[in-house]
């Protein structure tokens, strides 16, 4: 007998028929003698719909009230799934985040899980109940409900698996695994049998939404093997685990992120300490900076450009504008009509030709590169947003669709 955590995303629980399908998977696992903890997301587009509803009423609602609202989405799907399982004749109980022992930080809208106390879940399992838990939520030290940030149910599932030392953590979704690119956009994308935590973390951070990046970070930290699989096809999925040398792929995938904006501070005096002053200012305000580019100094000045998440753009421009005079720069310009396209692969470390192949693919597709950043296992380029799909297709074709591969 094993302890199995199964997480189902919004599309897997979107209506009664899908809930019935999920109930079949869950009860099938239970019937085989396993303890089953199920984590669910809100049904279909419920979270987006709730956000729209709130914005109709108040353009700028408080984050606390938003969390009060959004946590309702998961409450609905958890109780409905429990009723579906009940209807099949199995013992089941649904629990909200606080009932399931999720303590989080106070940051409404992007809370971090501090601790999971699984006592209640254990007590229910010992009564041979199937336990359904709401993903994406917890409770903070003020006894307020919090949410974990979009896509956060994956992290809820991994946190339960870690706190209970589960034998298996399955992430069921609407595709049957992790692919070399988004299979909905790139029909030639290939399913990966296995991918390392590090590569999956990069792909998730760089835009492959199939797993939330925090969930991968946590899985790596607590050595939880994940399986990403479809709730509809029952095909074997993709295993996310610690890498072994044998499995090192040259490139494991291509990802696209449109949630990005470029900011440039123009005419910064060309002397030591100014980059430090700009970026420490941003760090103080919790703005995550990604790609950074500094031009060569000419006539005593240089330009410093960097990318930030789109929703941090306005605050960053304001911050930089208020700072331009202090540092003696001339202006701040921005562009949010950009996208970041990246390749990820643990094998690129030891293969020098990868960057040139990527840039050749972009050249052949007539895509201009604005900025480049690299690490040991990834290369990212910033390009015009309208070129993004074409760029992903060209890069994917170069690395995965050549004859003989």
CB of 337 to ligand ASP, least distance (A): 25
Q: How many residues does the chain have?
A: 405
Rg of the Cα atoms in the chain: 23
- Give me the long-range contacts of 63-66 (CB less than 8 A, separation at least 24): 63/108, 63/109, 64/108, 64/144, 66/108, 66/109, 66/147
Say if CB 395 and CB 341 are below 8 A apart: yes
Which residues sit in the known binding site for ATP? 7-10, 173-174, 179, 184
Which residues sit in the known binding site? 7-10, 47, 74, 173-174, 179, 184
Name the nearest CA neighbour of 148 among 215, 82, 51: 215
Which of 27, 47, 140, 231 lies at the binding interface for ligand ASP (CB under 6 A)? 47
Say if CB 70 and CB 138 are below 8 A apart: no
Name the nearest CA neighbour of 170 among 162, 161, 178, 179: 161
CB closest to ligand ADP, residue no: 9
DSSP per-residue letters across 130-144: EEEEESSEEE-TTS-
Number of residues that bind ligand ASP (CB under 6 A): 12
Interacting span for Mg ion (CB under 5 A) from 9-17, 27-35, 256-264, 271-279: 9-17
**Interaction partner, residue 160 (ligand ADP, ligand ASP, Mg ion, none; CB < 5-8 Å by kind):** none
State which H helix or E strand residue 302 sits in.
Answer: strand 301-309
* Residue at token pair 């956000």: 51
**Interaction partner, residue 90 (ligand ADP, ligand ASP, Mg ion, none; CB < 5-8 Å by kind):** none
CB of 188 to ligand ADP, least distance (A): 13
Interacting span for ligand ASP (CB under 6 A) from 55-63, 147-155, 213-221, 239-247: 147-155
124 binds ligand ADP (CB under 6 A): no
**Interaction partner, residue 305 (ligand ASP, Mg ion, ligand ADP, none; CB < 5-8 Å by kind):** none
Binding site for ligand ADP (CB under 6 A): 9-12, 41, 151, 173-175, 178-179, 181-184, 208-210, 253
**Which residues contact ligand ASP by CB under 6 A?**
9-10, 41-42, 47, 73, 135-136, 150-153
């Amino acid at each position: 007998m094993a302890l199995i955590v199964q997480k189902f995303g919004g599309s897997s629980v979107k209506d009664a028929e899908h809930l019935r399908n999920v109930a079949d998977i869950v009860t099938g696992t239970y019937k085989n003698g396993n303890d089953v903890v199920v984590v669910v997301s809100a049904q279909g587009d419920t979270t987006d719909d709730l956000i729209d509803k709130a914005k109709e009423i108040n353009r700028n609602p408080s984050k606390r009230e938003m969390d009060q609202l959004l946590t309702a989405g998961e409450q609905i799907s958890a109780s409905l799934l429990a009723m579906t399982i009940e209807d099949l004749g199995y013992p089941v109980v649904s629990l909200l985040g606080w009932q399931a022992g999720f303590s989080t930080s106070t940051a409404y809208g992007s809370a971090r899980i501090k601790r999971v106390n699984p006592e209640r879940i254990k007590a229910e399992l010992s009564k041979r109940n199937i336990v359904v838990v709401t993903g994406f939520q917890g409770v903070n030290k003020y006894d307020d409900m919090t949410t974990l940030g979009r896509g956060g149910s994956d992290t809820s599932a991994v946190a339960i698996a870690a706190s209970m030392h589960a034998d298996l953590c399955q992430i069921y979704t609407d595709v049957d695994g992790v692919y070399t690119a988004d299979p909905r956009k790139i029909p030639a994308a290939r399913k990966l049998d296995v991918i390392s935590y590090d590569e999956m973390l990069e792909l998730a951070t760089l835009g492959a939404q199939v797993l939330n990046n925090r969930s991968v970070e946590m899985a790596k930290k607590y050595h939880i093997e994940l399986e990403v699989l479809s709730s509809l096809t029952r095909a074997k999925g993709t295993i996310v685990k610690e890498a072994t040398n044998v499995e090192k792929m040259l490139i494991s995938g291509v990802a696209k992120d449109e949630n990005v904006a470029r900011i440039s501070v123009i005419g910064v005096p060309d002397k030591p300490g100014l980059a430090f002053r700009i970026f420490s200012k941003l760090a103080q305000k919790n703005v995550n900076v990604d790609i950074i580019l500094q031009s060569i100094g000419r006539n005593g000045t240089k330009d410093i450009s960097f990318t930030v998440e789109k929703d941090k753009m306005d605050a960053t421009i304001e911050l930089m504008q208020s700072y331009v005079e202090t540092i003696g720069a001339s202006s701040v310009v921005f562009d949010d009509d950009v996208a970041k396209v990246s390749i990820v692969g643990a094998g690129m470390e030891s293969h020098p030709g990868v960057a040139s192949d990527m840039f050749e693919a972009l050249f052949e597709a007539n895509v201009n590169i604005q900025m480049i950043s690299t690490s040991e296992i990834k290369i990212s380029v910033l390009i015009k947003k309208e070129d993004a799909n074409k760029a992903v297709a060209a890069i994917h074709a170069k690395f995965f669709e050549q004859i003989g591969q």
